[in-house]
Amino acid sequence: MQDAIYPLTLYYESACALCNSEMRNLMLRNQAGLLRFIDVSAPGFDAAPPGCSKQDLLQLMHAQRADGTVIRGVAVFRLAYAAVGLPWVSRALSAPLLRPLSEALYPWVARHRHRCPRWISRLLFGRALRRAAEQAARRAHCTADSCRHEPGASS
């Protein structure tokens, strides 16, 4: 079943501060390489999955599974967070109370995301981005045989 999902290609808009912060968080955590990222707002973008227009991709989060299936909305986030080792986020978005709430709220958030001030995305993703960057930096010091940590660094 996992083979049919991953790699999962995420279509996001880097011109949106909120979207860009969330995708940067996922990129830093994508240690297993299960996610691929395509910036829909990049100049010359022409890689929309079959049956989707650029406008579709700009309205709601879209992803394409390895088997070619296109998914939208909160389902994308559930799979993406599971892929980067944050299954608790995926489980929260699937919980009986949160799932219908997140699925009802997400289209509204997506429509109004450009009105979201940068401080909101820093509030939502700032700590997660710092933690992901620190983990990525620690991994960069590691080799197959050993791991060199800075003095006082924690694992």
**Token code pair at residue 142:** 């590691």
Tell me the pairing of strands 8-12 and 62-64.
Answer: antiparallel
Task: Report percent pLDDT > 70 for the chain.
Answer: 81
pLDDT of 83-136, one tens digit each? 999 898 889 999 999 999 999 999 998 999 888 777 776 776 666 666 766 776
**Token code pair at residue 47:** 């890689």
Average pLDDT, the chain: 85
Q: What is the pLDDT of residue 142?
A: 61
What's the pLDDT band for 153 if we cut at 50, 70, 90? very low
Which of 121, 132, 100, 106 minimizes the C-alpha distance to 27? Answer: 132
User: Where are the chain's structural domains?
Assistant: 2-141
Beta carbons of 137 and 129 less than 8 angstroms apart? no
**Greatest alpha-carbon span in the chain:** 52
Q: How far apart are CA 12 and CA 90, in angstroms?
A: 18
Beta carbons of 96 and 47 less than 8 angstroms apart? no
